[in-house]
Amino acid sequence: MSIYTVQVSGISPSTTEEHLSEFFSFCGKIEKLDYSPSAQSATVHFEKPSAAKTALMLNGGNLDGVSLTVTSEREHPDEPQNAHHDGHIEQSDKPRAAIAAEYLARGYSLSDNVLQRAIELDNKHGISTRFLNYIQSLDTTLGQKALGPDKTISSKVQETIANATQQARTIDEQKGYSKQASDYYAKAIQSPLGQKVFSFYTTTSKQVLDIHEEARRIADTLKQSGASVQVHTDASTGVGSAAPPIDPAVHTTEKPLA
């Protein structure tokens, strides 16, 4: 069993094990969850130390109307930077600010203190090389398809973004790249705010307001795709909304974005 564990206390009596699992699945892959409703506590076992670090960031986060206490009996080590990119990005590879934005987009309540903690973690540990390679390869691939060799979407001025987006979409349709075109990051980079989105995911220079803005973009995308966005309030019944339905496995959330 994984040694990358966190302890969660102060859980609402109305919170189910499924809801608790959904909440922490945004941090990364969960190997096991030991939940004791009578003690209103749980131990979450993660596959990677980076996921456990992200979970600790959520100390003070709100679930079903109560503020959770998230602690760990040990300090989780930093993972070595891996420059290899095989096209598969796990949830734990993402910047903490991006994960915080996903929580907000799905209606969970995180205080500005939690969001600031996410920013500080990104500043301290940087953006993972795997995730940077992923976003930059998207930027280059889309730019070359839409604009020609050695071009990137993020380098274009805003006036040409709309034309580039339409051209990339046309080429995608011709060559059957519909799966790639549906990727949230590809769409976001091609949007009128493409340069700003690109910067959000590739730099550690962020403010709390930036996380809220990205959360609104994600929420808008979820609404456009028809996914329900359930807001978790103090009146929550404990029935939570899962991460966006990309992977059907409850504990496998490599791509929770729509």
- In tens, the pLDDT along 200-234 reads 999 999 999 999 999 999 999 888 877 555 544 33
Average pLDDT over residues 86-104: 88
Give the whole-angstrom CA distance, residue 49 versus residue 58. 15
Q: How many CB atoms lie under 10 A from the CB of residue 150?
A: 9
Inter-residue long-range contacts of 155-163, CB under 8 Å, 24+ positions, other chains counted? 156/194, 158/192, 158/195, 161/190, 161/191, 161/192, 161/194, 162/192
User: Which position has the higher pLDDT, 139 or 217?
Assistant: 217
Maximum pairwise Cα distance, the chain: 61
Evaluate if residue 245 carries a pLDDT over 60: no
Residues in a beta bridge with 161: none
pLDDT of residue 3: 84
- CA separation, residue 25 to residues 51, 133, 159, 164 (Å): 9, 23, 39, 35
Domain locations along the chain: 1-73, 93-156+185-226
Tens of pLDDT, residues 33-80? 999 999 999 999 999 999 999 999 999 999 999 999 999 988 877 766
Tens of pLDDT, residues 111-137? 999 999 999 999 999 999 889 988 988
Length of the chain: 258
Evaluate if residue 251 carries a pLDDT over 80: no
Give the whole-angstrom CA distance, residue 153 versus residue 231. 33
**Using 50, 70 and 90 to split pLDDT, how confident is the model at 176?**
very low
pLDDT of residue 143: 54
Residue type, 196: K
Give the whole-angstrom CA distance, residue 131 versus residue 128. 5
Tens of pLDDT, residues 8-35? 999 999 999 999 999 999 999 999 999 9
pLDDT of residue 142: 63
Burial class (CB in 10 A: 0-12, 13-18, 19+), 196: middle
Query: pTM for the full model?
Result: 0.75
* CATH superfamily label, 1-73: RRM (RNA recognition motif) domain (3.30.70.330)
Average pLDDT over residues 176-186: 55
